[in-house]
Structure 1
Amino acid sequence: MELHQLQILRELHALGSVTAVAEALRVTPSAVSQQLAALQRNFRTPLTRKEGRTLALTPAGEVLAAAGADAIDAMAAARNALDDFEGADAGTVSISGFHSVGQALFGPLLRELSSSDAPTVQLTDEDVAQSEFPGLTARYDLVLAHRMEHSEPWPTQGVRSLTLVREPLDVAVATTHVLADRASLSPEDVAEERWVTSRVGYSPDDVLRAVSAVANRPIRIQHRINDYGAVSAVVAAGGVLGMLPRFTSRSVDDRDIVRIPLQGVSTHRMIDLLARPENLRRRSVRLVVEALERVMVRLRDAAS
């Protein structure tokens, strides 16, 4: 039994298919299957089972995957002890972020890490539904993720999470709209309006579902757009309301719109950092986490 075989088993549990594991680890599906077969030869109890065309873990496989995650973390602790002793802070850290947080944080983060001895970062935008963020930790050192405050917490097996900010979503209306001079709005105030919102599985759509439930009325959705700059432009044109995050959508043009807090429903989303435990052992990764925390504090304070 070898450590990389345990890593493959863990990734299969996290990602759900041999193909996804191969893509995350940058190997062929055949190589993944061969390593799983080699691992299985160490045990009498089956570790995997077929579910249709996919390969899933048995209860025994899940137990071994969890133990393997602990072993990988312990190995990372040993490997990085010397880095800490030597004060090594260089290295490359890969980061994925959903679109709005990337627009808000990526530029300031690069400036924050502009010194010659700072870690190098590799940035990628990954705008996925909430349920897909944990799986991205197989491909990136740090994953910027969002979830609604009232939704299920992130999984804890093999993933660590750190909250950067609790961010409200505000109602966006055109400056010419009859509601534009209101200090706050309730679900009853906006339930009869037409809306531009996100696709299903993203924060604005979750808020509108709550508005519909509280007001006991169906929401009239005219447009589904995930890009907040486009949402702002559509709202400014008149005829629809939108939802905009208070801190991470400040790059959009606010000249022709007004942002108004929504009361009476939960509108807060959590912006979290997700990572594999062994990655957080690396000094370079921890330095980037600290830089992201500083950038987010400044962004929050500027918008408050």
Structure 2
Amino acid sequence: MELHQLQILRELGALGSVTAVAEALRVTPSAVSQQLAALQRGFRTPLTRKQGRTLVLTAAGEVLAASGAEAIDAMAAARNALDAFEHDAAGPVTLSGFHSVGQALFGALVRELAATPPAPTVHLTDEDVAQSDFPALTARYDLVLAHRMDHSAPWPSSGIRSLTLVREPLDVAVAASHPLASRRSLSPADVAGERWVTSRIGYSPDDVLRAIAAVANQPAQVQHRINDYGAVAAVVATGDAIGMLPRYTSRSVDDRDIVRLPLRGVNTLRAIDVLARPEHLRRRSVRQVIESLQRVMARLSS
């Protein structure tokens, strides 16, 4: 039983003939008859009968047509409710972000939205997962802030939409007292023999470190595996190891005792992307949050 079949049954009771129903719905009489026959196959009791040359409703057909009218009205109300939900600028939006982007963007995003009422009601969560696990988060959140290295596989295209906010370099971080601190830039050969503090496997700094080792043809000496950039900077400041910090999204890190240096000869760029299911992007409040994220990131990276 389909909703459009119930609509045809209702119109038959209201208009009195298959021809009139066809004209009203702008279909052929044959199409009307086929849909009525398909509807009848779902019921043992006859829904229509011949009255002369005209097809009319039986008593059972009238009962079903009346109930069908209620179903059609309920569906229309549901569509209107969905339309209102999709067009509501102040609707709720769930947003997840990995730790460093949350530290860099979440506060600024809340202030940005508050300055442009009516603002969506945003629910923020930090989700620090490996790069390959970001797409799955779109099942739980309207928007997902994710990072992806330039050399890695693209995000899945089926059922996921992605928008790049910025392409962010990762810089080498050394203690202010380190011999390399006076350099303007570094090469893989300069740093490959150093002791490193890097991320856990599957996260972006570790990917770059493996590329450095490959270019320099020298294995990396990984001393510490730490994902939090504040903790990385604290270790680097002691001179015990060198590390890597994202250029824009780790600006909250205390730089008094460290120096950041660009790395040449290896691609250190990572994309910071917004991932979402296509149906979430239909909502005005979700699109408004994305626009605010774009403005916040533009200021952060300028």
TM range (shorter): 0.7 to 0.9
Q: How does 1:138-287 map to 2 (within 5 A)?
A: 138-287=139-288
| One-letter code aligned to 1:96 | S
- In 2 relative to 1, CA 214–79 (structure 1 residues): closer, same or farther, beyond 3 Å? farther
How far, CA to CA, are the matches of 1:233 and 1:77 in structure 2? 54
**Separation in structure 2 between the aligned mates of residue 294 and residue 281 of structure 1, nearest angstrom:** 20
Q: For 1:31-62, what per-residue CA distance to the aligned partner results, in whole angstroms no more than 9, with x for missing partners?
A: xxxxxxxxxxxxxxxxxxxxxxxxxxxxxxxx
Is 1:125 the counterpart of 2:126 in the alignment? Answer: yes
Counterpart contact for 1:210–1:265, Cα < 8 Å? yes
- 5+ residue gaps, structure 1: 3-75
Aligned residues: 226
Distance 2:208 2:105 in 1: 23
User: Given that residues 77 and 278 in structure 1 are in contact (C-alpha distance below 8 angstroms), is that contact kept between their aligned partners in structure 2?
Assistant: no
| Shift in CA distance, 77/272, structure 1 to aligned 2, threshold 3 Å | farther
Alpha-carbon RMSD across the aligned residues, in angstroms, is: 2.0
Report the residue type matching 2:224 in the other structure: H
How far apart are the structure 1 equivalents of 2:81 and 2:174? 53
Which deviates more from structure 2 when the two are superposed, residues 106-115 or residues 224-233? 106-115
- Cα distance in 2 between the residues matched to 1:114 and 1:136: 26
Relative to structure 1, the CA distance from residue 79 to residue 282 in structure 2 (aligned partners, 3 Å threshold; closer, same or farther) is: farther
Correspondence for 1:111: 111
Work out the percentage of aligned pairs sharing the same amino acid. 73
Q: Displacement, 1:80?
A: 5.8
> Is residue 2:89 matched to residue 1:89?
yes
TM-score, normalization: structure 1? 0.72
Q: CA deviation at 1:117?
A: 1.4
Task: Tell me how far 1:152 sits from its aligned partner.
Answer: 0.3
Asked if the contact 1:80/1:281 (under 8 Å) is kept, the reply is no
- TM-score (normalised: structure 2): 0.72
User: How far 1:216 sits from its partner (Å)?
Assistant: 0.4
- Offset of residue 81 of structure 1: 5.1
2-side partners of 1:280 and 1:99: how far apart?
Answer: 24
SS at match of 2:263: coil
Answer whether contact 1:208 1:219 (CA < 8 A) is retained: yes
Q: Is the 8 A contact 2:88 2:283 kept in 1?
A: no
Unaligned runs of 5+ in 2: 3-77
Q: Aligned partner of 1:180: which letter?
A: A
SS of the residue aligned with 1:271? strand
